[in-house]
Chain A
Amino acid sequence: MQRYAVEALARTMATLTSKMPSSGPSLLAVVNRLLKRPIQSLQEYSYLVGDTFVKVCSPPLYFRDILEQMDVIGVGSLPIILLTGFFIGGVMVQNTAAQFQRFGSASLTGEVVALALVRELGPVIASLLITGRNGSGIASELGSMVVTEQVDAMRALGTDPVRKLVVPRVLATVIVLPLLTGVADLVGLIGASIVSYFQLAIGPVEFWNESMQSLAVGDIVQGLVKPLVFAIIISTIGCFYGLRTRGGTQGVGRATTSAVVAGSISIIVADFFIGKLLLYYLVS
């Protein structure tokens, strides 16, 4: 779908520019040249995503590689997720405590922190951390495999690199990221409850009651759908930049940087739209 839209856009651009009088570089020609690369990249990216989806749904699947990647991405990222989640929860209480006390409604802390964590901060922070750690890791690993001809060697040995390299990384990220997000949410709340106890004298039981009651089904759904979508974004972008690496070790560095930048931006943008979309559907 997306691919056809992109192609149609490219075609329209091409016909538009071809109809222009050819006296000097017209504005449209310049725009066309400027847009050609990004549109081509977007098209190639959509193609990779589509191809990956088809190959996720058809055998052979390399289970060992999926497990290996789950270990690298999931277990490997657990420490930073625990640490970051805990302190984010604590910091939120610290910053909001003064305001709540001013209005004499310190008991609302649990509710606010739980909502913000589950809906927004948990998914986004876990995903950004995984982009930095694993989006870059995927891009640099695949990138160095490309420049050392290991990907070509794989194809020469009759193995499809999308099945062997891309599918396991995408599946592993999709399975692991929602779990990591759940962990981040949980330790975030633990951090928040500890800080609330010491700063606002809210007992843990009261805090947990407050926060659990505030969470509606919609919030939980949002908190789970987001990391699912983000996981697809992180892993496919990492694979995309890795597989199109050109130009030796320098190219690997460029691919890694691009994967992290593109991944982080896409997550923030997607977060906005998913939030809007889900809010619309769940409220109405």
Chain B
Amino acid sequence: MPVPVTNEVVPGEPLIRFENVSIGFDDVDVLRDISFEVGAGETTTILGESGSGKTVLLKLAAGLLRPNSGRVVIMGHDLVDMKEVELLDFRRRIGFVFQEGALFDSLSVADNVSFRLHEESVNADEVETRVRQSLRFVEMEHAYDKFPAELSGGMRRRVSIARALIDQPPIVYYDSPTAGLDPVTSQTIITLILRLRDLNGVTSLLATHRLQDAFGLANFVFEPGINRVVPIWEDADGKHFAPTKVLVIRDATIYFQGQTTDLLKSEDPYLRQFLA
């Protein structure tokens, strides 16, 4: 029987915790001894080159892959100890936006977004309401009856976000949500992520190879009063920081961990490459 999943957040306990996590395929280390924490309501940007293991890290955090050693603790549950049946149930607390969207080709946009609701046998009227609500959030309601093949890359990414959000999970992972998109569409996606963070208090991991994404998340907040994204203002007390951290992965380990401002100030030649 699946363990009952509790939504409660233990105060002071991070929502996402990696402890000395290592994983490799065919004797090649992809991630080695990774440890970090993400507190409730925080967003951590995982920055790394192509092939550095960003996708693998997110899949570990969702229990889609199992580490060779170490512990992955999400909301107080150690995923490594859980059976696949329990994990299937537990993943309902986690939204996952895959790199290319990973929409089901054979299903319409509406059926894609409502996939999880059908599993929970929610009644048809409520399904439609919630799907429309979710699609409206990503401004894709007009694509309700379309099929994934008819959508552009950016639209697919947005539908994928709508699908991940349908159950309003407290944790969302975004795998390279802006990769291969033009700057304007990228900005739309980042704005969506900001709204989720600042409006709904979603805790998230965001994998990307674009430093702009990390800056976007660190330097802007969504202001519900005026319904707009505004830059963070300078404050003498340093209180108005966006709840954002950066983690740089290089050669299978964490190369840098900290605030984006520290990253900016860094003299390290490898990190400066990202700034260029």
Residues from chain A with a CB closer than 8 A to the CB of B94 are 156
A155 near B100: Cβ-Cβ < 8 Å: no
A156 near B91: Cβ-Cβ < 8 Å: yes
Q: Is A149 close to B, CB under 8 A? A: yes
Residues from chain B with a CB closer than 8 A to the CB of A154 are 104, 115
A158 near B59: Cβ-Cβ < 8 Å: no
B116 near A157: Cβ-Cβ < 8 Å: yes
Please encode chain B, from 115 to 131, with 1 for each CB lying within 8 Å of some chain A CB and 0 for all others: 11001000000000000
Residues from chain A with a CB closer than 8 A to the CB of B267 are none
Would A158 and B64 be within 8 Å (CB), given that A149-B98, A150-B102 are in contact? no
Please encode chain B, from 58 to 72, with 1 for each CB lying within 8 Å of some chain A CB and 0 for all others: 010010100000000
Q: How far does the Cβ of A33 sit from chain B's closest Cβ, in whole Å? A: 14
Q: Is B182 close to A, CB under 8 A? A: no
Q: How far does the Cβ of A61 sit from chain B's closest Cβ, in whole Å? A: 13
B98 near A158: Cβ-Cβ < 8 Å: no
Residues from chain A with a CB closer than 8 A to the CB of B87 are 155
The interface on chain B, measured as residues whose beta carbon lies within 8 A of the other chain's beta carbons, has a size of 23
Q: How far is the CA of A155 from the CA of B104 in the complex (A)?
A: 12
Q: Is A35 close to B, CB under 8 A? A: no
- From A148, A149, A153, A159, B119 is in contact (CB under 8 Å) with A159
Would A149 and B102 be within 8 Å (CB), given that A156-B94, A158-B91 are in contact? yes
A158 near B88: Cβ-Cβ < 8 Å: yes
Residues from chain B with a CB closer than 8 A to the CB of A159 are 88, 115-116, 119
- From B59, B84, B85, B115, A157 is in contact (CB under 8 Å) with B115
B119 near A158: Cβ-Cβ < 8 Å: yes
Within 8 A of A (CB), among B74-115: 84-85, 87-89, 91-92, 94, 96, 98-100, 102-105, 115
B99 near A149: Cβ-Cβ < 8 Å: yes
Chain A residue with Cβ nearest B88 = A158
B115 near A152: Cβ-Cβ < 8 Å: no
Residues from chain B with a CB closer than 8 A to the CB of A148 are 100, 102, 105
Q: How far does the Cβ of B116 sit from chain A's closest Cβ, in whole Å? A: 5
- From B89, B99, B163, A158 is in contact (CB under 8 Å) with B89
Residues from chain B with a CB closer than 8 A to the CB of A158 are 88-89, 91-92, 116, 119
Chain A residue with Cβ nearest B93 = A158
Q: How far is the CA of A153 from the CA of B88 in the complex (A)?
A: 11
Q: How far does the Cβ of A198 sit from chain B's closest Cβ, in whole Å? A: 47
Please encode chain A, from 7 to 44, with 1 for each CB lying within 8 Å of some chain B CB and 0 for all others: 00000000000000000000000000000000000000
B119 near A152: Cβ-Cβ < 8 Å: no
Q: Is A160 close to B, CB under 8 A? A: yes
Q: How far is the CA of A158 from the CA of B88 in the complex (A)?
A: 4
Within 8 A of B (CB), among A141-171: 148-150, 152-160
- From B59, B85, B116, A152 is in contact (CB under 8 Å) with B59
Q: How far does the Cβ of A123 sit from chain B's closest Cβ, in whole Å? A: 31
B92 near A152: Cβ-Cβ < 8 Å: no
Q: How far does the Cβ of A14 sit from chain B's closest Cβ, in whole Å? A: 18
A155 near B98: Cβ-Cβ < 8 Å: no
A153 near B92: Cβ-Cβ < 8 Å: no
B119 near A157: Cβ-Cβ < 8 Å: yes
Which of B92, B94, B115: most chain A Cβ within 10 A? B115
Would A153 and B91 be within 8 Å (CB), given that A158-B116, A158-B119 are in contact? no
Would A156 and B89 be within 8 Å (CB), given that A148-B102, A149-B102 are in contact? no
Chain A residue with Cβ nearest B55 = A149
Q: How far does the Cβ of A166 sit from chain B's closest Cβ, in whole Å? A: 14
B116 near A150: Cβ-Cβ < 8 Å: no
Q: How far does the Cβ of B1 sit from chain A's closest Cβ, in whole Å? A: 13
The 3 A-B pairs at the shortest CB distance, nearest first, are namely A153-B102, A149-B102, A156-B96
Using a CB–CB cutoff of 8 Å, the interface residues on chain A facing chain B are 148-150, 152-160
> Assuming A152-B59, A159-B116, what are 8 further A-B pairs, CB within 8 angstroms?
A149-B98, A153-B98, A154-B115, A155-B64, A156-B94, A156-B96, A159-B115, A160-B88
Interchain Cβ contacts under 8 Å between A and B, 23 examples: A148-B105, A149-B98, A150-B102, A150-B103, A150-B104, A150-B105, A152-B59, A152-B64, A154-B115, A155-B87, A155-B91, A156-B62, A156-B64, A157-B91, A157-B115, A157-B116, A157-B119, A157-B163, A158-B92, A158-B116, A158-B119, A159-B115, A160-B84
